[in-house]
Structures are given as structure tokens and as C-alpha cells.
Structure 1
Amino acid sequence: MGSTTPNLPHTAASEADASFLPYWQINVPPAERTATCPPFLENLIAKDLQIVSTPDHRYEILTWPQVQAIIVANRLDVFQRVPSQLRRYLAYNYYLRKAHGSVMNFILGERLKWEQPITAEGKPFEKETDVKILWNDWPYGIDERIVHLVVWTKFGLQDDPTTGDLTDKARGEIGAFVEEKFERRVGADNVIWFKNWGSLKSIRSVEHFHVMLFDPDPAFINEITNGDIALSRKV
């Protein structure tokens, strides 16, 4: 598959600078670098450590065909954030946990405004009040024309315990919803969805799946998200 790279300066000097910097100083302006590692970057898993240690200009932005291929192949672990965006994501989540006790508490109280315990009013996708569509607050490193949304549900989406993947029934329910809500408006070729494996979920206690759309009408996105704005655009 082909790839494109971000329009960021790529010089021998920038490569040399990054080669001797500790990982927590990479992608940080010299005046903002700290001598010690910030707490939100301590004890990172290997994948995140590798990403934040990569200069932004070496990150390859994913194209729409690449995104489609990754999802069709169920290689969801391939998705990554741009290194500097992952750093911001980790920092923001660290302070969210400090302020709200957990990221889940923040999502429920501030983003979804759903009270606990979460109780569905109807069967899956039967009631509009059981579903909320919002921007993905911290999207992956993908073509800027791709809109990444998260569909949050008050009802469960059943997994097959033997495979860890969705059951055929749940997959059919999601597929029908996506067709009605998105494909009829933007075309099936411009829509793809996926549900993260349990091991990849950053928010485990609230059911959700992801929908990506290629170059949709902004008015349509504003309509279905009720004017939502991704947190990464606010902070």
C-alpha cells in the first residue's frame, strides 16, 4: 500500500537532534523541554514508547485506502496517533484521572452526560436516546479529510467469547445502523466502521464503536454530532 508523509521539515540536523534527546523531549520545543520525565510519560507500554520517541516528520499519515485495508484485515493494532498528538493524549488523560477519578467518569459526566447506572430504554438501536454520536477526541494519524466518529451506546454489543470478535447478530445490528445513518447520506464507499478488541479499548466500561467517513459534508457531521467538537481541537 502507498503512503504519504506530513508536510513537516525533514533535515539532517533535526534527525541528529532527535537521536540524542531523551524520549520525553522529542517533538517538544527547546524552551519547553524538561530535565526529568513528565509523570504522564512514565512507564509507557512498548508501543506508546516507540511512538512518542519518533519525530513527527517521520510519521506516515494513513490514506483512506490504507485505513479501509487495515479495518478489513482487522489489524486495528496498526492504528497509531501522530507522536506529538499521542503525547497530548497521554497528558490530557493523566490530568483527567486526577480531576475526575477516571477517564470513564469524565466521558460519562462531561461528554455523554449519561447517569450511572447506564440503562437502555429499548432494544439495540431502537431508541435514539440510547445512542450518541461524537467526534473521536484524539483521532489517529490519518488523512485530514477522514472524519473519525465514535458511536456510544447504552446497550451492549455482544462479543463471541471464543473469538473475542462481535457475534454475527451484533455485527448485523451495527451494519444496519451504519447503513441507515451514514451510508445513505455519504455513500457506502465513503464509510467504514469497526469495534476495537477488548485489549485495545481505552474506555472499557461504556460500549462504543468507531465510524470513519471520507470527506463528508461538514454540515452533515455537525447535524449528527449535534455540533460536537473534538477535545483535541479545544486544548
Structure 2
Amino acid sequence: MPAPNPNPTPPSTPFWNVNVPPSAHTETCPGFLTYAIDTNPRDRAILSTPDSDYIRQSWPRVQQLVRENRPDLFQRVPSDLRLYKEYCAKLVEEFGSVMRFVVEERLGWGGGKVDLEVEGGLEDPANYKILQNDWPYGIDSRIVHLVVWTKFPLLTNPATEDLTPEAHAEIERVVDETFVAKCGREKVVWFRNWTSLKSIQAVEHFHVMLFDPEAEFVREVTGGDVAFAEKVKQGDTVGE
């Protein structure tokens, strides 16, 4: 359980001012959070929660959610969710879309468009890239959350949004060879978000979570990548 908060947020504090220093409080909701007023009560509830009251999801809970195909139940630490929404708005303003930022700045694939006609699938390492999740979920801090981005669509059943057996088997093979062989099966889970949950719709990807992996291994598979959230918290600006 989290330690008691010596300066609890008053119950009357609007959700957009929770986890924000009093000097930065605003009378009206910032534009990047107005969506939570009427259309997203779940996010509004998260944003209304002081960070000190948030309980991170454990590795057994993460395994359970993946096993039950419930990626919708993952959530971010309240202050991280706010920061995520704020910087998504800034990325749209500067790059035109979050997708363009991801493709050009994070993946380095250029042109603002991914070539979906590549050959080889996951057989060719040039067709995918493993990076840190820029805005990881509010999970046990020992869990490393990675994203595998692909230059091609992962085939799914349109009626269920589930991967086809062939696509599932291909991902399972890569996960086993890349992660399970090093970390052990009990310390690796992977999942693909439902289409309706994807924040980046135009670039295909799936998630891999590792429990307490060796730091050098993570640096190796990600090429030393640093999550964008960490850069933001360290004071780096958008696009740098």
C-alpha cells in the first residue's frame, strides 16, 4: 500500500488540478483534458486520483490481464496519464499527428508513411523495431514495457479483432526467440491491443512486458532506446 499522503488533495479539487502544484491550478479544464469531462469517465476517474493513492499493477495481475485478453484494464499512473495527454496534444500541434511523430522521429522510417508492402514479415529484423513504450502503464516498476513496431499489418479476424492463428504463431516465435530464451517464459508476456484501444492506429505494433530483466539485455534489444516520457520528465522538448 502507498504511504499516506501528508498533503492530500481536497475532495473539491477539479480532476484537472489533481497531482498539479497549487501554483499551476487553473479555473477551467485544459483543452487536452476536456475529452474526459463528458466522453471518458474512466480517464476522469483516473485523473481524479492522487498519485499517492494509486496502486501499481503487480506482475501476477499483468499476467492475468494478458491471459484473459483484457488490455482495456491496464491504466497509467494518474500524473503520467495527464502528461501523456498533454504531450499528445503538443505532438499533434507540431507534427500534425502522433502517428507522424512515431514514424519519423521514433522509428526513423521517414516520409510520414510506412511501406505496408514489405516482404518477409517478422522473418526479417529490418521489418520491425523494438522500442521502449513511450508512456508505459502504471505497473510494478520492475516490469519493462516494450513495443514491437512492424512495417506490415498483423492479420486479424475482423469480427473478433483477434490475431489469426498464423499471425499469433509468428509473433510467438519471435517473442520466444528474442525474449523468452533470455528471460524465461515465466517472466515474459505479450499482447496486441484491441483495434479500438490503439492510440496509434496506422502503425502496427504489439506489446511485450518483461519482469525484472537484465538492464544490458534491454539496452541490447532496444538499441539503448529511452522512453519519451523519461525525456519529457528530464526537461527535453518535443521533437528533440
1:30-80 alpha-carbon deviations (Å, 9 max, x no partner) = 111122211111122222111111111221111101100011011111100
Question: 1:28 and 2:20 equivalent?
Answer: yes
Per the alignment, residue 60 of structure 2 pairs with: 65
Question: 1:98 and 2:90 equivalent?
Answer: no
Bigger drift between 41-50 and 147-156 goes to: 41-50
Picking from 72, 75, 97, the partner of 2:70 is: 75
1:185-214 alpha-carbon deviations (Å, 9 max, x no partner) = 111111000000011000000000000000
Picking from 182, 185, 193, the partner of 1:185 is: 182
Q: Distance in 1 between matches of 2:188 and 2:91?
A: 31
The AA in structure 1 aligned to 2:188 is V
Cα RMSD (Å): 1.3
Q: Distance in 1 between matches of 2:143 and 2:149?
A: 19
Per the alignment, residue 160 of structure 1 pairs with: 157
Contact in 2 for aligned 1:61/1:143 (Cα 8 Å) = yes
Contact in 1 for aligned 2:114/2:151 (Cα 8 Å) = no
Where structure 1 has 5 or more consecutive residues not aligned to the other structure, the ranges are: none
Distance apart, 1:117 and its partner CA: 4.1
The structure-2 alpha-carbon separation of the partners of 1:27 and 1:102, relative to structure 1 and needing over 3 Å to count, comes to same
Equivalent residue of 1:88, what SS? helix
The structure-2 alpha-carbon separation of the partners of 1:119 and 1:165, relative to structure 1 and needing over 3 Å to count, comes to closer
Stretches (4+) displaced over 6 A: none
Per the alignment, residue 223 of structure 1 pairs with: 220
Contact in 1 for aligned 2:116/2:153 (Cα 8 Å) = no
Please, what TM-score do these two structures have when normalized by structure 1? Answer: 0.93
Q: Distance in 2 between matches of 1:140 and 1:117?
A: 26
Distance apart, 1:119 and its partner CA: 3.8
Q: Distance in 2 between matches of 1:163 and 1:117?
A: 25
Where structure 2 has 5 or more consecutive residues not aligned to the other structure, the ranges are: 233-240
Distance apart, 1:155 and its partner CA: 1.4
Q: Distance in 2 between matches of 1:227 and 1:77?
A: 29
Contact in 2 for aligned 1:120/1:130 (Cα 8 Å) = no
Please, what TM-score do these two structures have when normalized by structure 2? Answer: 0.91
Question: 1:46 and 2:41 equivalent?
Answer: yes
Q: Could you tell me the percent identity over the aligned residues?
A: 50
Contact in 1 for aligned 2:47/2:82 (Cα 8 Å) = yes
Q: Distance in 2 between matches of 1:212 and 1:117?
A: 25
Q: Distance in 1 between matches of 2:116 and 2:108?
A: 13
Picking from 162, 173, 176, the partner of 1:176 is: 173
The AA in structure 1 aligned to 2:147 is V
Bigger drift between 213-222 and 112-121 goes to: 112-121
Per the alignment, residue 235 of structure 2 pairs with: none
Q: Distance in 2 between matches of 1:208 and 1:30?
A: 39
Per the alignment, residue 128 of structure 1 pairs with: 125
The AA in structure 1 aligned to 2:41 is A
Contact in 1 for aligned 2:103/2:114 (Cα 8 Å) = no
The structure-2 alpha-carbon separation of the partners of 1:111 and 1:34, relative to structure 1 and needing over 3 Å to count, comes to same
